[in-house]
Amino acid sequence: MSGEGAPSLTTDGTGLRIVVVAASWHTTVMDGLIAGALGTLEPSGATVELIRVPGSFELPVAAARAASAGADAVVALGVVIRGGTPHFDYVCQAATVGLTEVSIRTGVPVGFGVLTCDDEQQALDRAGLPDSKEDKGREAAEAALATIRSLAAL
Ligand code: DLZ
């Protein structure tokens, strides 16, 4: 999937409570994703909490708890890198379907910042680090804030 065509999104978080749930595998990439998300959310005026979980498989349950605890939106961050077994597919599927289900069931927007990559370089390219081409942590945070505003208009 290409990163070209990404929109410019409103990022006013005044009065909002945003929970960032972040997996812990692949430390360097995760540090970049978290910095990108927090660098968008904190200046936006939102109240921000960061919750760490072991892996991307655990992101949906943390997002569900954040939603039931009153978060206005959740930003989910993780990195899954393909290995030599089908495990990659199961973790990606669990995270993607789980986060989608949480968002639809609770009505709380979930910004999807889970990288699913063939190798570490693909992840580094999207991590918002100084040499990265893209910043998926920032994009997920912007999407979460913008979706809150979109839903409020309905
Ligand atoms: C087990 C596992 C593997 C092999 N790879 C990753 C990964 O690349 N990224 C990630 O976020 N998590 C990985 N995990 C851990 C699972 O997400 C989960 O934490 C464990 O299976 C324990 O439930």
d(CA 107, CA 68): 10
Return the ligand 1 atom nearest residue 81 CA. Answer: 8
Return the ligand 1 atom nearest residue 83 CA. Answer: 4
Residues with Cβ within 8 Å of 69's Cβ and at least 6 positions away in sequence, in order, are 19
Pairing of strands 47-52, 73-81: unpaired
Residues with catalytic roles: 87
Ligand 1 mutation target, pool 91, 116, 124, most atoms within 8 A of CB: 91
Rounded to two decimals, the pTM is 0.96
Listed by start position, the domains of the chain span 17-152
Cα of 24 from ligand 1 centre, angstroms = 9
Tens-binned pLDDT, residue by residue, of the chain (154 aa): 677 777 777 778 999 999 999 999 999 999 999 999 999 999 999 999 999 999 999 999 999 999 999 999 999 999 999 988 889 999 999 999 999 999 999 999 999 999 999 999 999 999 999 999 999 999 999 999 999 999 999 9
Enclosing H/E stretch for 20? strand 17-22
CATH number belonging to domain 17-152:
3.40.50.960
